[in-house]
Amino acid sequence: MKYKLKRQLTEKLIELLLFLAAASSVLITFFIVYTLVTEAFPFFKEVGLRDFLFETEWTPLFENAKYGIAALVSGTLLTTTIALCVALPFGVITAVFLSEYASARVREFTKPLLELLAAVPTVVYGYFAMLLVTPFLQKIFPDLSGFNALSAGLVMGIMIVPYVSSLSEDAMRAVPLSLREGSLALGASKFQTSFRVVIPSAFSGIASAFVLAISRAVGETMVVAIAAGLEPKFGFNPFGPTETLTAYIVQVSQGDLPQGSVGYRTIYVCGIVLLLFTLTFNIIGQTIRHRMEKKVK
C-alpha cells in the first residue's frame, strides 16, 4: 500500500517535471514577445506610424532623426534575395546529386564536408566575404564598393547551402523507388526522372528547406554586419553598401544608448519587424506544405 502510494507520487512528480520543461520554452517565447512589444510600444508614441512606414531614411541616432524602416527592410530583402539565389538552386542540385546520382561511398564522403560548411562560425564567413570575395568581385565589377550587399549575400548563400541540401535530400530519398521506376520504365532519363518526378514528389520537404533557408538568411547577422557596410539605404542596389535589420541591432546594441530613449527602443522595434518576417515565411511555408501534402496524399 505504502509502496503503491510512493510510486504514484514519483509518477506525478515526473509528469510535473516534464510538463515544466515543455512549458518553459513556450513561456520563454511568450516572455520574449512580451518584452519586445512593451519595450517597442512607446516608440510609436513618439514616431508616427506613417513616418515609420513611408519614410525612406533610417537615421535614428542622428541629430535630425528619421525612422523609415523601409531602409532596413529593403537591405534585409536585398541580401536575403541574393543569398537565396545561391542557396536554393545549389542546395537543390546538391541534393539531387547526393540522392539520385552519388554512390553510397561518394555520399558518405560528401555529406560530412557539407555539414562542415554549416559548422564554420559565421564571423569567419563575414571576413571571408569582406577580405576575399569582395576584392575578387571588384575585378569583375570595378564599381563595387568595399562594403556591399552582393558579396555578403553570396557568401551567406554558400553558408545556407547545406541547410537546403540536407533537408531536400532527406525528402528526395523518402520518395518511393516505385515512382522512379515508373518514370524510368517510360523511357525517361535519370535527369528527367529527378526533375520531373522526384523533386515534385519531395516538394513539401523541399519547401520546408526553403522556409528554413529564408529564415536563416533573414536572421543572419555577422556576415552582413561585417561585409555589407552598416549603412542603411533604401533601395536594391547590390553593388553598394546596405544594412539589414539584424546588422542594425548589433550595431546599436554595442553603443551605449540611454535606456528608454527612442534610439534604444528602435532595437526592439527592429526585433518585432524581424519576428514578423520569419513568422510570415513560416506561415507561407506551412500553407504550401499542407496544400502539397493534400495533393500528394
Partner 1 sequence: MVKNIKAEVKNLTFSYDKAAPRPVLNSVSLPVFENSVTALIGPSGCGKSTLLRCFNRMHDLYGAVKYEGKIILQPSGFDILSNEVDPLEVRMKVGMVFQKPNPFPKSIYENVAYGLRIRGIKKKSYIDDKVEDSLKKAGLWREVNDRLKASASALSGGQQQRLCIARALATEPELLLLDEPTSALDPISTAHIEELVGELKKAVTILMVTHNLHQAGRASDFTAFMYLGDLIEFGESSQVFTNPKEEKTENYITGRFG
Binding site for partner 1 (CB under 8 A): 176, 178-179, 181-189, 192, 196-197, 200-201, 295-297
Least distance from partner 1 to the Cβ atom of residue 106, Å: 15
Considering beta carbons, is residue 69 or 197 the nearer one to partner 1? Answer: 197
Q: Judge contact between 295 and 204, C-beta under 8 A.
A: no
Least distance from partner 1 to the Cβ atom of residue 110, Å: 20
Least distance from partner 1 to the Cβ atom of residue 291, Å: 11
Considering beta carbons, is residue 276 or 296 the nearer one to partner 1? Answer: 296
Least distance from partner 1 to the Cβ atom of residue 205, Å: 13
C-alpha cell at 270: 527592429
Considering beta carbons, is residue 61 or 179 the nearer one to partner 1? Answer: 179
Least distance from partner 1 to the Cβ atom of residue 96, Å: 16
Considering beta carbons, is residue 6 or 196 the nearer one to partner 1? Answer: 196
Least distance from partner 1 to the Cβ atom of residue 281, Å: 24
Strand partners, 67: 58
| Measured distance CA(262)–CA(280) in Å, rounded | 27
Which residues are CB-neighbours of 98 under 8 A, at least 6 positions away? 107, 110, 111, 165, 169
Considering beta carbons, is residue 116 or 186 the nearer one to partner 1? Answer: 186
Considering beta carbons, is residue 45 or 105 the nearer one to partner 1? Answer: 105
C-alpha cell at 283: 506561415
**Helix residue spans in the chain (DSSP H):** 2-40, 43-46, 49-54, 70-96, 104-119, 122-128, 134-140, 149-173, 177-185, 190-193, 199-201, 203-219, 222-227, 245-254, 262-296
Considering beta carbons, is residue 93 or 184 the nearer one to partner 1? Answer: 184
Angle at 216 between CA 230 and CA 30, to 5 degrees: 95
How long, in residues, is the chain? 297
Q: Is 228 exposed, middle or buried (0-12, 13-18, 19+ CB in 10 A)?
A: buried
Which residues are CB-neighbours of 182 under 8 A, at least 6 positions away? 197
Least distance from partner 1 to the Cβ atom of residue 187, Å: 4
